[in-house]
Amino acid sequence: MTPEEVLQFAQDQGAKMVDFKFVDVPGTWQHFSAPLHELELETFVEGKAFDGSSVRGFQTINESDMLIIPDPETAIMDPFTATPTLSLVCDIAHPGPAGTKRPYSRDPRYVAKKAEHYLCSSGIADTSYFGPEAEFFIFDNVRYNSSANIQYAEVDSDEAHWNTARNGGTPNLGHRMRVKEGYFPVAPNDTLQDLRTEMVMMLEANGVAVEAQHHEVGAPGQAEIDIRFNTLLKTADNLLLYKYIVKNTARKYGKTATFMPKPVFGDNGSGMHVHQSLWKGEKPLFFDEDGYAGISQLARYYIGGLLTHAPALLGIVASTTNSYKRLVPGYEAPVNLVFSQGNRSAAVRIPLTNSSKAKRIEFRSPDPTANPYLAFAALLMAGMDGIRRGIEPSEHGFGPVDQDLFHMSPEELREIRSVPASLDAALDALEDDHAFLLEGGVFTTDLLEHFVELKRAQSDEVRLRPTPMEFALYYDA
């Protein structure tokens, strides 16, 4: 839509308020609202002022004046407000003298735009497509506390196996899934079909195309809704809208949804496999019917870049301490730094398809706690570095590996590198290896330093606290 069309759309929909949404550095939407009369055509150019000093990763108190610039292409009616409200996703800018302004270097959405521009300026391709598969859990209850003398967390799902002997105010009707047996069951075991379908209907009504929805492997309420691939920036916008709709639809029904990677011990965690491809005009660049798994040499170089920079990438695409409770060797988790057309524990998988337009690669290590603008931009920059430097993955010990990784001998597995085992290790790798992100000014040193500082602080918060398991292991020592 144009700004003029947005104002007409708001009028036609009977909007009374306008909600300005923007993303912070960790990747969460923030917002403020105003009566609709405060939205004018010049707002789409001049923006509206706000205080950026209290936003995670943004400005200090002495440099707090910021602007939001609404993007008219993102206009929808917010599906969860009681008062009809127009929703706009915004870019962030610095105000300047005499009405001048400049984009804010720590705005994740600006980073995504620069990554798309860098791709076009390279002459290699003009479009990058991204398709994330973001998994999540739907729980009936969650309780947690962390204080000087209390450390605990408790989640519950009526679907969970631990409720087979439950007594309470409601009947216990059985039909619960065993651990790791939540993939594709029908009702009555799958109790969340209608809820997921409502999420799908709401996504489609708000412009996000959906390919499928289903129960995931995690028995206590794990779910997946696959949204259609799109360009880098548009997919990042869609992913935040996806999370907003999932969380608020669950809440509408008295349930709670979480995208944290490992909320349940002993069952599958939630990942975000990211499908990627490059195009030039109408030509898909990752397809070659004579290549391994049908991929081109350009795609192999892209994979080489992803796997070479994977330890550093993990600091951005798996950016929580909880991420590394999912990325554990010996399970189905994608921890092995190889590419494969079959192994799901490989960091890069090539989905089997004979269609040139559908040929893509899938990076499986990310999870949905990542900031999608930074994550997709970083993946593109790593792939482009592989293309620019001609990094052939087979020459660097990255495969392809088609034999079953679960049945390899310990000696064979020792030859395969793994992703970092902790957030701190991933952040160390990012500090050591980030020059590829700075190419074309896509990322800045300032943004990366603040991102690492923010994530190190989160890691310290976890590291300094005793856990219930430590009491179980050491209280009687």
225, 131 contact by CB (below 8 A): no
Dist. CA 391–CA 300, nearest whole Å: 8
DSSP label of 269: -
CA 114 to chain centre: 19
Residue 418 phi, psi dihedral angles, 5° rounding: -120, 165
Q: Which two tokens stand for residue 5?
A: 């069309």
179, 162 contact by CB (below 8 A): no
CA 471 to chain centre: 33
The three state secondary structure string of 98-120 is: HHCEEECCCCHHHHHHHHHHHHH
Q: Residue 345: name the closest of 360, 362, 321, 368 by CA.
A: 362
Q: Which two tokens stand for residue 476?
A: 């009687």
Residues 6+ apart with CB under 8 A from 434: 312, 443, 448
| Residues noted as catalytic | 51, 133, 135, 216, 224, 273, 344, 362, 364
Dist. CA 112–CA 314, nearest whole Å: 17
192, 182 contact by CB (below 8 A): no
Dist. CA 193–CA 334, nearest whole Å: 28
347, 337 contact by CB (below 8 A): yes
Residue 138 phi, psi dihedral angles, 5° rounding: -115, 115
Sign of the torsion angle spanned by Cα atoms 114, 118, 121, 124: negative
394, 305 contact by CB (below 8 A): no
348, 307 contact by CB (below 8 A): yes
Q: How many residues in the chain?
A: 477
Terminus-to-terminus CA distance in the chain, angstroms?
66
CA 33 to chain centre: 26
363, 276 contact by CB (below 8 A): yes
Residue 409 neighbours by CB distance under 10 Å: 7
- DSSP notation for 142-172: EEEEESSS-EEEEEE-TTSGGGTT--SSS--
